[in-house]
Amino acid sequence: MMGKPSSALVLGIGESGAAAARLLRSEGVAVTAVDGADTPALREKAAVLTGEGIRVLTGASVLPDGPFDLGVVSPGIPASSPWVQTLARRGLPLLSELELGWCRRTCRVAAITGSNGKSTAIKWLAESLQQAGLRAAPGGNYGAAICRVVREQPDLDWLVLEVSSFQLETVNTFRPEVGVLLNVLPNHLDRHGDMAAYTALKARLFARAAPSDACIIPHALRGPVRELSGGAGRWITFGTEPDSDYRWQAGSVLQNGAMCADLKGTYFDNEILGPGAAAVVAAAVACGADPDDVGRAARAFQPLPHRMQKVAEAGGVWFVNDSKATNLAAMTGALRMAGRPVRLIAGGLAKETDFSPARHVLAASARGVYLVGRAAEAMRRAWADAVPCVMCGTLERAVERAAAEARPGETVLLAPACTSFDQFRNYEERGVRFVEYARNAATLLQRREGA
């Protein structure tokens, strides 16, 4: 475990950076935290941190000279950023917030990464371990930042972490006892460049695995991930393939061909979530839970907001919020899960440039697409000859138009395939606005029915 520095520089004061600064300060470290932004909300946060004995610089364009013994990098700051490069040239040891928290842990760690479905898997795995009587808490990108969890909950048996590709950019010693790669689909290519680089980053989760560590990976990726990681862990595969160690088949998970977990009728009993359910069962077993614990947690599972969340219904029309669908693969998964003809609302700030792979799913599932945000024109060009596309500009207009054209038995679905940052602070705010607009539209539909 890493020793305690006497002084540290933390880059970024978002949730992760602030958690890292507080953890270090609680150990008596002299902490300076810097952030290039300078908004009223950030200044308010800086004032709170200052009151806790942390020196904070907002609106910073250059880094202070120090002296510092350690640099801590928030996940929103890429390894290629000028700040990180400056610290590297100074020879300052650098840690990600993830790795700092991991170095301070007093429990075992299960970590899940992937392109889609991570938060749902994290929540379910943590609840499965709790069903087994283990003290488990979620953290990382879902729940609290790892540095906050290890500071506030030192008596855990398992810390269940959601780990992003951003966090994996800067890990060096991170080694979870149980690691899961759910999937690798086009995502964050605006930051990582191409799928080869993105896949290699995901494989870093297993790079330092020991023979006793469980490395749970999709059967279809078993060759490249093992080769890219170079880890020496105990490799466990999952998927729909007959020779998967944990196989999803018709609502059940089979372990080496024998019944392991019956998930029929649960939230996970569908073609989109099912294969990932096999990974969660494998992870829970590796952590010491019984498959029955996983089944009980699945039957009690409450889906997270903004993930295929039915928020209104009127005149036989459903309104479903999947604002978390921020890439094309998540959007097409939402279309397949909908189970009804869809009026799709899509668009925003794109992470991808090629939208054509969704054409066949749209042609089969969508009655119309209502486009918003910066990506609208690129999406229209890619899809217009497969499905009617309507340029709406804003989310409010898109909901109004989709609701007006929807017929009984159809679903108005927000699954944008884009981030929200061109019009909203985050996907949560976008989802909240959709819920507001959807309920207004449903009220209008009900009035028309009663007229």
pLDDT at 1: 47
Higher pLDDT, 141 or 348: 348
pLDDT at 76: 84
Q: For the chain, what are the domain ranges?
A: 7-95, 105-299, 309-450
Percentage of residues of the chain with pLDDT beyond 70: 97
Average pLDDT score over residue span 433-450: 92
Asked if 34 and 63 touch (Cβ cutoff 8 Å), the reply is: yes
CATH code for the domain defined by 309-450: 3.90.190.20
Strand order in the sheet with 136-140: 136-140, 158-162, 108-113, 178-181, 214-218, 234-239, 246-249, 252-255, 258-262
Average pLDDT score over residue span 416-428: 96
Global confidence as pTM: 0.89
Q: CATH homologous superfamily for 105-299?
A: Mur-like, catalytic domain (3.40.1190.10)
The tens digit of pLDDT for each residue in 188-240 reads 656 666 888 889 999 999 999 999 999 999 999 999 999 999 889 999 999 99
pLDDT at 451: 56
Under the banding of pLDDT at 50, 70 and 90, the label for residue 48 is very high
Average pLDDT score over residue span 254-279: 95
Asked if 434 and 396 touch (Cβ cutoff 8 Å), the reply is: no
Asked if 440 and 447 touch (Cβ cutoff 8 Å), the reply is: no
Average pLDDT score over residue span 64-71: 92
Strand partners, 70: 8
pLDDT at 449: 77
CA-nearest of 417, 356, 402, 400 to 381 is 356
Per CATH, domain 7-95 is 3.30.365.10: no
Mean pLDDT of the chain: 94
237 phi and psi, to 5 degrees?
Answer: -105, 155
State which amino acid sits at residue 277: A
The tens digit of pLDDT for each residue in 180-197 reads 999 988 666 566 668 888
Check pLDDT > 80 for residue 271: yes
Average pLDDT score over residue span 56-62: 95
Average pLDDT score over residue span 4-28: 96
Under the banding of pLDDT at 50, 70 and 90, the label for residue 420 is very high
Check pLDDT > 50 for residue 40: yes
Average pLDDT score over residue span 363-382: 98
Percentage of residues of the chain with pLDDT beyond 90: 87
End-to-end C-alpha distance for the chain, whole angstroms: 70
pLDDT at 39: 93
- Other C-beta atoms lying within 10 Å of the C-beta of residue 31: 27
Average pLDDT score over residue span 429-447: 96
pLDDT at 186: 67
